[in-house]
């Protein structure tokens, strides 16, 4: 290896601080940025990297892994026996088939397209299956390859501009469904292809709802790529909101809801930046939009609704690291019923993060158990849930340690 090459964090012997420095630099982050997100002074964080301070406790290690988007805890600790996937689960058995359908671009008309109404009905059924299933990747992964190929064929066979726009809207919706399957799978480039192709198809469709959904998903892809991409996430969200704003006075419930979902995404990203006032201001705006919707309404893609806005309040407080406020918001949200199983599980995980911040680890583990009951696959692929369980497996309290270990075994956390 040349003198100018970036060291390999697997190479021994490397101190914990050296590994943290290498991984931080690979993400293009400064020491000050990491220190701010970690909740310590730049001076303290500098001492961690320089080895002038003993290796931090597991809570700090896991928080640092989260900030640096470390996919395997061994990358940070240098301990192969602690090899744990934190942010990306093992590839789903149906990933290969879904990937082949997304990557394929047939240039001939060998595939006979289905009638538009038939494809619409299949997509509607797929979204229902996604929300109702305890293991939504299995449910939609079985449907996606044929849906993708048929939607692509429908676009190719269009005979008029009107037909083509309608077909592009269905193709955009299909790519949106694919992104829910691809999230936390070990192929981030495939997720980006689906997100960008979905955005292009939505723009070609000129359908406001399709454009809003594609923007919502593309913004999330940017935000989840790390802090350097937060501005890009905001840019996508803001542009979509500006596009939809003139339509809102007479908009359908679905268009109104996607506008609200986009508004909340701005708040979510602000919370990630620790911008408290901005985060809650966007939550308020999104909540005002939700208030215009019927009490029983649920957006078919995002689950945006009265109930989910209460769950979103928990997320904002958690991202701002406000433990007490997270718990208060969780208590308010407890009265709400989130119909989507994976979304309900995601809320329980956010709730668990809040209880962990508030030093209530037993309640945090109980919340993760509820997440598992709602949708085992959701918790299996969620890095935050894994981080909490990994911490509580080491608890000095035997009952909590046993509960955490039991759940960790169910989700495959410690599987080699």
Query: What is the per-residue pLDDT for 213?
Result: 98
Is residue 27 in a domain?
A: yes
Is residue 64 in a domain?
A: yes
Q: Are 210 and 169 in contact (CB under 8 A)?
A: yes
Query: What is the per-residue pLDDT for 4?
Result: 43
Is residue 246 in a domain?
A: no
Tell me which residue range forms the domain holding 52.
16-82
Q: Are 98 and 178 in contact (CB under 8 A)?
A: yes
Query: What is the per-residue pLDDT for 69?
Result: 72
Query: What is the per-residue pLDDT for 328?
Result: 95
Is residue 55 in a domain?
A: yes
Is residue 302 in a domain?
A: no
Total structural domains in the chain?
1
Query: What is the per-residue pLDDT for 236?
Result: 97
Q: What pLDDT digit, counting tens, does each position of 376-395 carry?
A: 989 888 878 888 888 888 88
Query: What is the per-residue pLDDT for 6?
Result: 42
Is residue 25 in a domain?
A: yes
Query: What is the per-residue pLDDT for 21?
Result: 86
Provide the residue-wise pLDDT of the chain in tens; the chain has 416 residues: 344 444 444 444 467 888 888 888 877 778 888 888 787 888 888 888 888 877 677 778 877 887 777 766 777 777 655 555 555 555 788 999 999 999 987 777 677 888 899 999 999 999 999 999 999 999 999 999 999 999 999 998 888 999 999 999 999 999 999 999 998 787 888 999 999 999 999 999 999 999 999 999 999 999 888 788 899 999 999 999 999 999 999 999 999 999 999 999 999 999 999 999 999 999 999 999 999 999 999 999 999 999 999 999 999 999 999 999 999 999 999 878 899 999 999 999 999 999 999 999 999 999 999 999 999 989 888 878 888 888 888 888 999 999 999 998 898 876 54
Question: In angstroms, how far apart are the furthest CA atoms of the chain?
Answer: 70
Residue 58 maps to which CATH number?
1.10.260.40
Is residue 328 in a domain?
A: no
Distance CA 78, CA 19 (A): 8
Nearest to 245 by CA among 234, 254, 256: 256
CA distances 359 to 64, 315, 331, Å, are 19, 17, 16
CA distances 401 to 244, 398, 407, 408, Å, are 49, 5, 10, 10
Is residue 235 in a domain?
A: no
pTM of the model: 0.78
Q: How many CA atoms lie within 13 A of 207 on its CB side?
A: 25
């Amino acid at each position: 290896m040349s003198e100018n090459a970036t060291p390999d964090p697997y190479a021994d012997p490397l101190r914990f601080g050296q590994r943290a420095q290498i991984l931080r630099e690979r993400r293009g982050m400064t020491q000050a940025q990491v220190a701010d997100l970690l909740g310590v002074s730049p001076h303290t964080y500098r001492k961690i990297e320089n080895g002038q301070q003993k290796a931090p406790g597991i809570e700090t290690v896991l928080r640092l892994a989260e900030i640096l988007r470390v996919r395997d805890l061994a990358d940070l600790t240098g301990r192969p026996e602690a090899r744990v996937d934190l942010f990306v689960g093992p590839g789903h058995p149906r990933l290969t088939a879904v990937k082949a359908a997304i990557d394929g671009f047939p240039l001939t008309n060998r595939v006979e397209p289905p009638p538009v109404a038939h494809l619409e009905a299949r997509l509607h059924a797929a979204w229902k299956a996604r929300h109702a299933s305890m293991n939504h990747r299995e449910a939609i992964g079985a449907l996606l390859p044929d849906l993708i190929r048929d939607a692509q064929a429908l676009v190719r066979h269009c005979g008029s501009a009107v037909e083509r726009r309608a077909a592009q809207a269905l193709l955009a919706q299909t790519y949106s469904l694919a992104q829910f399957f691809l999230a936390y799978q070990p192929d981030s480039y495939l997720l980006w292809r689906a997100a960008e192709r979905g955005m292009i198809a939505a723009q070609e469709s000129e359908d406001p709802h399709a454009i809003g959904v594609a923007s919502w998903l593309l913004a999330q892809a940017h935000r989840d790529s790390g802090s350097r991409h937060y501005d890009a996430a905001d840019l996508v969200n803001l542009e979509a909101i500006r596009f939809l704003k003139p339509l809102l006075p007479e908009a359908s419930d679905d268009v109104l809801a996607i506008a609200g979902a986009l508004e909340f995404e701005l708040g979510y990203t602000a919370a990630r930046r620790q911008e408290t006032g901005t985060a809650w201001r966007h939550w308020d705006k999104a909540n005002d939009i939700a208030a215009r919707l019927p009490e029983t309404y649920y957006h078919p893609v995002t689950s945006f609704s009265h109930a989910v806005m209460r769950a979103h309040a928990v997320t904002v407080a958690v991202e701002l690291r406000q433990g007490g406020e997270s718990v208060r918001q969780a208590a308010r949200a407890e009265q709400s019923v989130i119909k989507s199983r994976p979304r309900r599980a995601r809320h329980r995980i956010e709730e668990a993060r809040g209880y962990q911040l508030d030093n209530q680890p037993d309640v945090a583990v109980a919340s993760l158990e509820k997440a598992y009951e709602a949708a085992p696959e959701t918790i299996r692929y969620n890095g935050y849930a894994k981080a909490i369980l990994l911490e509580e497996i080491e608890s000095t309290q035997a009952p909590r340690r046993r509960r955490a270990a039991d759940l960790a075994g169910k989700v495959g956390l410690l599987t080699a």
